[in-house]
Each structure stands twice: as C-alpha cells, then as structure tokens.
Amino acid sequence: MRIVMLATGDIAIPAFRVLLREKRVAALVTQPDRPVGRHQALTPPRIKRIAVEQGVPVLQPESLRTPDVIQSLRQLAPDFLVVIAYGQILPQSVIDIPRKACVNVHASLLPRHRGASCVQAAIDAGDSETGVTIMHVVRKLDAGDIILQRKIPLRGIETADDLSDALAALAPGALNEALALLDVGKAPRERQDEQLSSYAPKLLRADGRIDWNQPAYIVERKIRACHSWPGSFTTYPSVRRGKDRSLKIYPPVDVISMKPVKEGALPGEVLKSGLDGLYVACHPGILRITALQPEGGRKMNAESFFAGHAIYPGMILGLSREDASLS
C-alpha cells in the first residue's frame, strides 16, 4: 500500500507517525515554509521536519494545479492520497491520481461543520459530540461520500487546543480502518445530506473580538473555541495612557449568572474587579475572568494584573472612545 499524504496542520501528525511506522508513506506534500514570529523567520511545518528526519520525500508546491506538480504526484504511483488539514483545495486532476482512492480525514461529524475551523465551530455551537470523518475527496469542499466516522462526547469545558489533540489521537485508528476496508473493496459509502450541512470558515484574528452583547454562556464558549488561535480579546480605556488598550482573555472563564444583571448595567460593563477576578456584564449574564494579558504584556492572574493595571467598576469593555462619545 503506497500512500502520499497531503498535510500541514499539527492535527495530522499522529496519523502521519502511525503511517510512517507501518512504512506506508511514499511522500509528504505540505505547504511551503512561511515567515513566522516577530522576526519573520522562514519556518517549515512541523510535519515536514518529521518527514525529513524519517527520510520521506517532501513536496512543497505553492499550487497543486501546475503540470509539473501533477506529473510529480503521478510518478509516485500512490494507491491512496490521504489529506489531513492540508490547506488547499485539490483539483480533479490530483483527486484522480491514486489507484484506489483519495480520502480526507476531517475533524467534525460531517456534514456538520465543513471548512477550516471545524474544531472551533463544534465548541462555539455548544455541540454535545464531535469526531472525525473519513470521506472520499471531491471538488466541492468537504462534501464527499462518508466512509466512516468516530465520535467523542464534548463536556463543555474543552478549548480548541484540547479538542484538536483529542481528535488528532482519534484519527489514526479511524484512518487505518478506512484504508483497510478500501484496500479490499469493502468500504461503505454514504452520501452526505446537504440539508444538514454547515460551514465553518477559516478564522481571522478579528474573529477573536468579544461581543459582550451576547449571553454569558455564548461568550464563554467563544473564549474556549478561540484558544489558542485567534485568541479572545476586548479593549479597555487606559486612564494612564489616555487611549484604548487591547486585553487578551484566557480560559477558563466562569459563568457566574445567566440572569440579567443590575438595572442599567451595559454589556461589557465591569461590575467588580479584584483579586478573585474581573466580573463583566453580558447580555444577559455575568462572566468572571481570572487570566488576562494586557497589550504589550504577559499573561497573568487577576491578582498580578490588578497590581499594575487599572480597570474599575463602571468601565465598559470593548467600547471605543469614539463610540462612547456618540452614546
């Protein structure tokens, strides 16, 4: 069984390691090295480093649509193409290359949460379960026939990082089972119900901005879903600097109340600030925040934060000075 794996995200690493141990990987196709960090150092995907260490050929095309890339893949003569968090849509000319099948490992229970931020979407939506889907790749995003699925329950406390790790651990067994069934021609094939589909687009940094006009339980989910990318943030008026400053907020965040807060309190209003945390009004409900990071600073607990930063009851988080002047 010759497999060419197309993968970039870290969620693919456990499955890649299993396939490597079984000596099934003919090559890895991954995204090109990208500039990372403050100094924009050119950095390879982690999965590439593993492939290089194991002597596996690595291809890093900017596009899969060029004739030379397609020819290179054909020359590898794979039985299977396995796609996991690769980062590009495959053209039909690539989907047709493997002798037996082109399959995708997707981190949701399709057709729910198609798209790049499927892990975050399951948390944000308050789903009671999620899992991995092994499916046939088609040109339409995440719309191929399902081979099999494996489920895990959600407890309502997971961050996106936690859930990514859990799904990454679930994927190798599901993938191996699907490949074995496909290899002998006994794999089931179930069409997706388009009426049940939902889409989870790639998250941008701006998607981490907290909307205090939402209920407390919705904001709490969002903070878990956005950890650690893109991260959750709001702003507060800095008395010392005379301008709004960004404030990053980390999970866990406690939902103190789901009821409307005191009469006249506005969404984002600070109700209490002290050693045990920052209490903020939502619409409705109250959240208690205990881990914060000020703009230009480090992550710290509430006690450390309030020793050097002034956020007082009555302040409105997420409200710019321009907005305040118009209210």
How many other CB atoms are there within 10 angstroms of residue 288's CB atom?
A: 19
**pLDDT value at residue 322:** 44
Beta strands 58-59 and 25-29 are parallel
Cα–Cα distance measured from residue 158 to residue 223, given in angstroms and rounded to the nearest whole number:
10
**pLDDT value at residue 33:** 95
Q: For residue 231, give both structure tokens.
A: 């991260």
What's the whole-model pTM score? 0.94
pLDDT tens by residue, 75-100: 999 999 999 999 999 999 999 999 99
**pLDDT value at residue 321:** 43
**pLDDT value at residue 327:** 34
Beta strands 25-29 and 3-7 are parallel
pLDDT tens by residue, 21-39: 988 899 999 999 998 877 8
Residue-wise burial string across 141-180, b where 16 or more C-beta atoms lie within 10 A, e elsewhere: ebbbebbbbbebebeeebbbebbbbbbbebbbebbbebbe
Mark the ranges of the chain whose per-residue pLDDT is less than 70: 239-242, 262, 320-327
Q: For residue 260, give both structure tokens.
A: 């409307």
**pLDDT value at residue 261:** 79
